[in-house]
Each structure stands twice: as C-alpha cells, then as structure tokens.
Structure 1
Amino acid sequence: MNYFIGVDVGTTSTKAVLYDQNATVLDQFSQGYSLYRDASGMAEQNPTAIVEAVEKVIHDAAQKADLTNGKLLAVSFSSANQSVIMLDKNFNPLSRVITWADTRARDVANELKNSPAGQQIYAKTGTPIHPMSPLTKIMWLNKTQADKVAQTAYFGDIKSYLFHQFFNTFKVDVSIASCTGMMNVNTCDWNDQALELANVDRSQLPEIVNGTTQAIGLTATAQAKMGIPADTPFVYGAFDGALSNLGVGAIKQNTVAITIGTSAGVRVVTDHPVIDPQQRLFCYAVDKGLWVIGGPLNNGGDVYQWAVEHLVDASAVKNENIDPYTLANQVIEGVPAGAHGLLFHPFLGGERAPLWDANARGSFFGLSHIHTRADMLRSVMEGICMNIATVFQAVRDLVGNPASVTATGGFARAEVWRQMLADVLNCPVNIPNSFESGCLGAITMAMKSLGMIENYEIIKTLIGDISSYQPNQEAVNVYQNYLPLFQQVEGLLTPAYSTIAKLQQQSIH
C-alpha cells in the first residue's frame, strides 16, 4: 500500500491525516500549542513549537504507515493564512508568529482603508484592508517595532518558515501569497505599491510558486525527527480555506462552500480573479487558474459556545445528565423561526466580512418581556446564520446564484444547524460525512503535483456520502422578512462600534 500525509497547520494545533493512495482516511494525529495573547489584540505563536508539532504529527503518521511494504508518495500542506514572522539573515526568528487573529494593526488598517491608496491596493491585491492582513501588520511593525524591523532580513509566513526549516529554501505558494495584501492578483507577483507602503524590498520576501510545487531533500535534522525518506516530496499546497473548497468538491461557480468552526467562511471557486467594487470580499488564489472569492467571519462556533455557557440552565444539564450543547440544540428546536421577533448580531470578536471592522460588537435587538433564554439561544444561532447569509448574498451578487451550498465544520454535526442554514440561505445545503476537507484538498494537490490526476474533478469521487437539506418554505418566509431588518440594524449600529470599543477599553484599564 502507498500513502499520502495531509498536514493542516492551524492556529492552536497541527493535524496530520494519513491516507492510502485512494484517499481513504487511515488515521489522524494532532499536536497542540499555545496561542499567546499577552497584550490587547495580540495573537501569536511560538514558531519552534509549530516546527516540533509538524515534525511530530508527520512522524506519528509515518509510524502508522507500513513503509516497509509501501511508499510515502507525498506530504502536502494546508495552513492558516495571513501570518507574519520576522527573520534575521540566517532565517532565525526575531519575533513570534503574528497570526491572522492578531488585531493590533487596527489603527493602521483604518487609516489605510479610508485612503485612496487603500482602495488602489484592494483593487490590485483582492485583500480587504484589515488588521489581519500581513500588509497592515508590517506597516504596524514599522511604526511600533522599528528597531526590530531594522534587524529583519526577511519577512515570512508560517509555511515558508517551515519549508525553510525542512529544506533550506525560501518559497511561498501563490495561495498564501495572495492573502498577504502584497501580491497582484493579475500578475501573481509582488505588488510594488504595497511593498512601498510596507517599506519592504521584494528580496526580503519568499519566491512565489504554484501550490503543486514540490520540495525534495529534507535536511538531516528534519529527516531524523520525522522518520521518513529524505527524498519524500513535500507539496506546498494552499491556505486552509481554499483547500476546504477543494476538499468538499466545491470547485465550480455553482457551488458555494461554507465552513462554520470556531470562526466561519463563505467561498466560491472561479477560473478568474473577481474584485468586489464594495470591498466586502476577498479574492485569493487556490492554484494556477483557480481563484476563490469569499469572506471570512470571526464569529461562528465560538459565539455559540459563549451562548451555551451563559444561557443554558446548568441545573437542567446536571439533572438530566446531558451534554449542554445537546440540550441547547433540543431547546432551540422547540422555538419557532425568528425567535419570537428577537435578532442577535454575533460580533463578539469584531468582524471581518462583510463589515471589516475590528471594533464591531454583539447585540440583541427587539428584546422584550416575552423573551426567554430559549428565544435568546435560538436568536444567537440565527444571528450567526444571518451574518453568513449577508456574505453569501455578496458572493451571489458577484458570481451569480449557486445551485447548492456544501457546508462543513463542527456545526454540521447538529441537525438543527443544518436545516437552519438551508432555511436562512434559501438554498439546498449538502453536508459531506467526511469532515477533514482541508487535508483531503491538500493531498488532491499532491496527486496533481505527481501527475496522478489532470484536474480536481476527481475530488467528487473521494468525498464519500453526503446528507442533503432542502429549505423549509415556511421558515424561509420568516427569515426573508427578518434578514433585511438584521442588515438595517447592523448599518445603524456600525457608526457606534468604535465608541463602545473605546469605552470598553477604558473600563478594562
């Protein structure tokens, strides 16, 4: 038997999935690490911890494989995007990894967003101006850590850093590069205007390569840690959202992929770049000739977790000996669509798409004496779905009406979530029974890299069984009345977000 290993480098853990040559999952392995939040807005990782985690999960997966009677065909990578790490001339870290979740560049981002230069940068790069963007992060570093920037020979991301550790080569796949705010989406090369704003020379950045590019020739240290042949091809792959689209077979404009995990994302694949005139959506590369249009949302399952912790009756959980999330879902099923006229805006962690406002805050609207905790729980779930629907509408405006939605993430395990999403979107929702879409997308890129497949159509034969949910017309009618009000209230509250954020900041200090 021959094998593939798909590696997904995430925010708080790295996962490796071991597949056979037919893309059947054989086993999976995970290694966690800390996300450092030592200061307001900070979200950083220890690069050494991530290198060690990647080496360990590959080692564990290789140990599970029978490499005496088979071959490891390739290791392929998915990773979170929009990270920044400062490196010295010997590629040693001068900083921790500043992740996508770090919002300390918010003032720099706001200033750039409201300038003509910001609009020009977005039009050329397809990356919304936001503190998540490596462009604004580097601009912020120039202002706040000038001494360290002066020592910096190279700016990398976590994947280019990993590949340098393993192969002594400094390259980045086009997918990750396109998420930086510094790559021109039409030329797939670094954009001079963005580099000037960041005060970065292109010689300080990794070489941009296709996602199917292979690195071969592991360093002796990496080879010993992983316990795999040194000539095993490592395929660069893409960022996690793009690979999730591949991994669920959403590779045409008629299928939108939605992920709801801790955060959420709405994405559709096209064969050409599409820039949103209203700057609501990103346009990133997947692979040569494939682009993904969509929006990331900060607020998904983490908001539901907050609601369950604060709104579920703890005594009922104890008395009935039931998981609180199971109880919450049962309670929500007993509340009609619309939660008796209660709306919830789920911006507990600021928001990326469609607002691109790190100061956004959550709120209940319409709360009255008639409402119960059950109504509030239902409205939280509906608010998450309506926020997703707002981004879904923006995607639909740009690329047309999809035939269906393919949805994955932790939410997909609950029937009430699945049906609600179909009702709020008024679109059929398909749920693949396999949840490891990012790693599956990564090994599909490895198959293409090795010449085993010509295109990604094969993914539809690999994803296994699918559960389908059709919109319930009665609920659809309710949500079509509520969604415009949800968006109207969002617009009314937006000017007040910066003020409440400042007041909250003052109250903490």
Structure 2
Amino acid sequence: MEKSIIIGLDIGTTSVKAVAFSRGGRVIGEQEIAYPLSTPFPGWAEQDPLEIEAATITVIRNLIQLPTIDEKNILAIGLSTAMHSLICMAENGEPLSPSITWADGRASLQANRLRVEHNHIYDLTGTPIHPMSPLVKLIWMKENNYLPYQQASYFVSIKEFILYRWFGCQSVDYAVASATGLLDLHHLKWNKEALELAGVSEAQLFKPVSPTEVLVDLDKTIADQIGLPVHIPFVIGSSDGPLANIGLGAINPGEVAITIGTSGAIRQIVTEPKSDSLQQTFCYGITESLSLIGGPTNNGGIVLQWLKETLDIKETYEELISVAEKAEPGAEGLLFLPYLNGERAPIWNANVRASLFGLSLRHKKEHIVRAGLEGVIYSVFHVGQALERLAGKPTTLLASGGFGRSPLWLQITADVFNQEVQVPISHQSSAWGAAWMALFAIGEVTDLASIKQAIPMQENYMPNPDHHKIYMDLFKLYQELSHTTHSIYMK
C-alpha cells in the first residue's frame, strides 16, 4: 500500500505541535504540548531545552497513537522551529545553558552599541541589530563572562540541539542560520566579522545546509521512546516564518503572508536578498535561490492574554473577542499601542512600552478589547508599509496562526489593509510547510509552488471601504504615537 501520511513538526516558543497531513493537505490528526517560559530576571526569557526535547518526543508519540494514524503509512517528518533561540552546548550534547529565546532582552545595551559601531553588519547578514539576535546575545555572554559561553563546544538553536542528540547531526538549515546574525546573507556562509564580534569560531557552529537535507538512522533509544522505526526520514526543514509562507502558498511575488500567534509577522518570499536601507525589516535565506523579507511584531496573542488577565475576564478567548464586537470599528477613537513586550519591526526598540491613547469616560470594556485587536493589526500594517516600500503593494494576503480562527480579527485585517484576506481551513501553516518541504526533499513532489493545489481554504474576508477610511485616519495618529513613544524610550 502506498504511504500517504506526512508529519509536520513545529517547535515553537510556547509549545510543540505535531500535525499529520494527507498528501492533499487535509489534517488527519494533531497534538500539542505546551512548555513554560522562565523569566529569572527582568527582560530575560529562557526555556529548558531538555523539557522541550521531552515534549517533542511525547507529542510525536501521542500523534502516532491516534486511531486515525497508521505509523506504517508515514512517509517522513519535516521540521519547523522558531528563530533566534541560542543554547550553549557541550560536545556530548548536554545543554550548558537554558535556551535563550527571541523574547530575551538582556542584550539591549550590546545591541545599541553594535548599531552605532558596526551598523553595516545588518547589510551583510540581513538580521536586524536587536537583542533577539544570537549575535548580540553572544556578545553579551562574552562581555559578562557567562560561564556556559566559556565552557561551550557548540552554540546551537533548539532545532540543532534536538537533531544533534537524535542523529549526531551537525547541520543547520539556511533560515535558522540566517536568523543568527552570523551568516553572510549573500553567500550563505558564516561571516568572519560577525564571528569575531561574537568571539566564537566557525568550528563551534554547525554547517549551513539546504532545507531539503534528509536525516536517517534515528537514535534507537529515541526511536523506541517515540514508537517509530529508526529509518523514518526526518527532513531538516526551515524556520517557522518561511514555512508558514510555503504552507499558505505565499511563494510568488506579491503574495504576502500574515501570521499572528503569540507574536506576529508579515512576510514575502523573494528570489534574491533584499536588505533595507532603513533597517526596518529582516531578510533571511531559505534556499540557494529564495529569501524571506518582512518583519515581526512582538505583540500578537499576548495582547489578548494581557487584556483577559487585566480586565479579569473569566470567559474564553472566543468570548473575549465577542465582547469587542459590541464596539464600532475604531473603538470610538481609542488607540492601543501594543508594545507590551517591547517591539521589533519596524522600530526595533526592546525598551519601548505600550499605551492606551484617547481614553475617556465613554469607553467601556468592549472598546478597550477592540482597541487591543485593532492595535495588533495596526502594528502588522506598520511593518507592511516597510515591506511594500521594498517589494511593492501585495497582490494577495493570506492569514495563518491562531488569529485565523477569529472572524472579527480577520475582518479588521481586511479593513485595515483594504484587501481581501484568504484563510486556509487549517491554521497550522508552518507545520504544513514543513510537511511539504519533506515531501519535496524525498522526491514525492516536484517543486514547492505545487503546494497551492493542496491547501484546503475556507471563506475569504472582503474589506469594507467605510471601515478602511476610519482605520486610515486612526493609523496616521498611530504612526505619530509610535514615533514619539519610540523616541522617548530611546533616551
């Protein structure tokens, strides 16, 4: 019998997801396990890499034990991971440090200095100079005599950490490598100047490779724990950003993907690297011929979480969003600058903070919640303006991530951008992109673009011109507030 199941494994910042798909993109089964984020000091954001590895083993095992899954029908497993994680690792694969995530801001001082003294490093690497960058984290480690840094044999991401322990693999896909701030974007090799700044050698980093690299001979102990044969192919895949674009079919010029989960991003795939003279966006390599441009916002679903906790709303998130439906578009002039966790694109200021602007006695709970939803979309649209400056106006908008389950949030997106928003049935676009990359790597499909015929879609969301006008009037004020707030927190 022909094998028909492909698994996408998506190791994110808050959880790991394993999703089984048919060749046509239909979800056959999915499992998810969450893990905590530790903040031992203000601005720090760490995780236990062994806890993430254990969750990854368990989530695959739970998936293949579902009654809809026959392990004998599994073709391969493709990997997706969040960007910018950094682990100091011993030669035997033991972690010497926590996994320091993209949300960690301890290296703000180093980022500010690097921006002044070595600003050109962005043009070489495409990675914005920001505390999220492993380059900047490594400089912090060097300057603070961080013991794990001094003892480490290797500096790796969470994906490299797991694959080294499971396969003895010393490879890193181009996208994860590109997001370190250490990779020459134009040649896809480690950049000597960046390595010198970080105080590390090329021997302490893994070899950058294509996302189609296939790994076999899974460690037998791990295979037994998961319940899979050792010969199941694992495909190294890419980071969650480019794979979300692929999983949505946003591959050709003008096709733009918006993803909002815990954080958010807007991205476009291009055929050659495009750095930004204003340094408002990133550019990361995907393959030898494809790059990803765009920008992330720190504040997506965490805004909803903060609103729910702060307003002491006991209902579910779906009910929380329904509260916002009671308010008109524009929330009667209330603006929420959603910088609860600092901000990345387009201002790249880890110290900036959020604010509610225009609050009056008329404003109730529904206005505040709606302003929060709208503020997140304004922040994505703000990044979208920079992306449009580089790549032109988008021809297609596709949405993924948790916000894809909220009709109101999707309608706000269509109204702000004044464009139709297309939404797949499954919101697990990074996992489907990883699964399709695996199919491509093992020769089951001929190219990446053919995924467009294998993405089951739901209804689209059309813009309301009257709402768009309201939003654009408010967005002008949003831009002014963003600029002023950014200036204040840069002092």
Which TM-score band applies after superposition, normalised by the shorter structure?
over 0.9
Q: How does 1:56-71 map to 2 (within 5 A)?
A: 56-64=58-66, 70-71=72-73
More deviation in 220-229 or 469-478?
220-229
Are 2:369 and 1:367 equivalent residues in the alignment?
no
Report the equivalent of 1:482.
474
Task: Report what 2:115 is aligned to.
Answer: 113
| Distance (whole Å) between structure 1 residues aligned to residue 195 and residue 127 of structure 2 | 14
Residue 88 of structure 2 is matched in structure 1 by: 86
In structure 2, distance between residues paired with 1:60 and 1:324: 26
The answer to whether the 8 Å contact 1:161/1:170 transfers is no
Q: For the structure 1 residues 11 and 331, does the alpha-carbon distance in structure 2 shift closer, same or farther, using more than 3 Å as the test?
A: closer
Aligned equivalents of 1:208, 1:302: Cα separation in 2: 33
SS at match of 2:331: coil
Q: Does 1:345 align with 2:347?
A: no
Quote the Cα distance in structure 1 between the aligned partners of 2:218 and 2:187: 31
Which letter maps to 1:189?
Answer: K
Letter in 1 for 2:199: N
Residue type matched to 1:125 in 2? T
Partner of 2:434: 442
Deviates more, 1:358-367 or 1:331-340: 331-340
> What is residue 419 of structure 2 aligned with on the other side?
427
> Are 2:487 and 1:495 aligned?
yes
Unaligned segments of structure 2, at least 5 residues? none
- Cα distance in 2 for partners of 1:214, 1:82 equals 23
Cα displacement string for residues 332-386 of structure 1 (whole angstroms, at most 9, x for unaligned residues): 3332222222222110110111111111111122223443333222222221111
Local SS of the residue matching 2:79:
strand
In structure 1, which of residues 102, 105, 119 is the aligned counterpart of residue 104 of structure 2? 102
Deviation at 1:68, TM superposition (A): 7.6
1:235 corresponding residue in structure 2? 235
Return the offset for 1:134.
0.4
SS in 1 for 2:76: strand
Displacement after TM superposition at 1:418 (Å): 1.3
Q: Could you tell me whether the CA contact under 8 Å between 1:311 and 1:377 is conserved in 2?
A: no
Q: In structure 1, give the amino acid aligned to 2:340.
A: L
The percent of aligned pairs where both chains have the same amino acid is 39
- Pick which of 160-169 and 376-385 moved more: 376-385
Matches within 5 A, 1:229-268: 229-268=229-268
AA at the equivalent of 2:482: E
| Residue from 377, 385, 392 that aligns with 1:393 | 385
Residue of structure 1 in register with 2:456 after alignment? 464
1:405 aligns with 2:397: yes
Whole-angstrom CA distance in 1 between matches of 2:25 and 2:217? 25
- Report the Cα offset of residue 290 of structure 1: 1.6
- Conserved in 2, the CA contact under 8 Å of 1:5 and 1:61? no
| Residue of structure 2 equivalent to 1:192 | 192
Q: Secondary structure at the match of 2:19?
A: strand
- The letter of the residue matching 1:239 is S
CA distance in 2, matches of 1:68, 1:341: 54
Q: Report 1:139-288 matches (<5 A).
A: 139-288=139-288
* 8 Å Cα contact 1:5-1:58 kept in structure 2: no
One-letter code aligned to 1:206: F
State the shift of 1:63 in Å: 3.4
Structure 1 runs of 4+ aligned residues shifted over 6 Å read 65-69
Q: Tell me how far apart the structure 2 counterparts of residues 474 and 68 of structure 1 sit (CA, whole Å).
A: 51
Q: 1:149 to 1:423 in 2, by over 3 A?
A: same
Name the counterpart of 1:37.
39
TM-score, structure 1 as length reference = 0.92
- Superposed displacement of residue 417, structure 1: 1.1
State whether residues 64 and 70 of structure 2, in contact with CA within 8 Å, keep that contact through their aligned partners in structure 1. no
1:451-499 deviation digits (Å, cap 9, x = unpaired): 1222112211221023211211111111222212210121122222256
Cα distance change of structure 1 residues 162 and 325 upon mapping to structure 2, 3 Å threshold: closer
More off after superposition, 327-336 vs 424-433: 327-336
Letter in 1 for 2:232: T
Instruction: Provide the C-alpha distance between the structure 2 equivalents of 1:223 and 1:161, rounded to a whole number of angstroms.
Output: 17
Does the CA contact (< 8 Å) of 1:354 and 1:391 recur in 2?
Answer: yes
CA distance in 2 between partners of 1:143 and 1:129 (Å): 17
CA contact under 8 A between 2:424 and 2:456: conserved in structure 1? yes
2-structure distance, mates of 1:232, 1:41 = 40
The answer for unaligned runs of 5 or more in structure 1 is 318-322, 500-509
Separation (CA, whole Å) in 2 of partners of 1:476 and 1:234: 45
Aligned residue for 1:296, secondary structure, equals strand
Partner amino acid for 2:389? D
Deviation at 1:24, TM superposition (A): 2.8
For the aligned residue pairs, the C-alpha RMSD in angstroms reads 1.9
Q: Deviations over 1:272-330 (max 9, x none)?
A: 11111110101012233221111111111111232233347x5xx7xxxxx35444434
**What is the alpha-carbon distance in structure 1 between the residues aligned to residue 233 and residue 136 of structure 2?**
34
Q: Is the 8 A contact 1:257 1:405 kept in 2?
A: yes
Amino acid at match of 1:102: D
Match for 2:396: what amino acid? S
CA distance in structure 1 between the partners assigned to 2:10 and 2:452 by the alignment: 21
CA gap of 1:73–1:327, structure 2 versus 1, over 3 A, is closer
Q: CA deviation at 1:138?
A: 0.6
Deviation readout 1:160-193 (Å, 9 max, x if unpaired)? 1111111112111111001000001110000111
Alpha-carbon contact 1:105-1:131 (below 8 Å) kept: yes
Distance 1:95 1:173 in 2: 22
> Structure 2 vs 1, CA of residues 332 and 92 (structure 1 numbering), >3 Å: closer, same or farther?
closer
Secondary structure of the 2:120 match is helix
TM-score (ref. length: structure 2): 0.95
Question: What corresponds to 1:502 in structure 2?
Answer: none
Give the match's secondary structure for 1:352.
Answer: coil
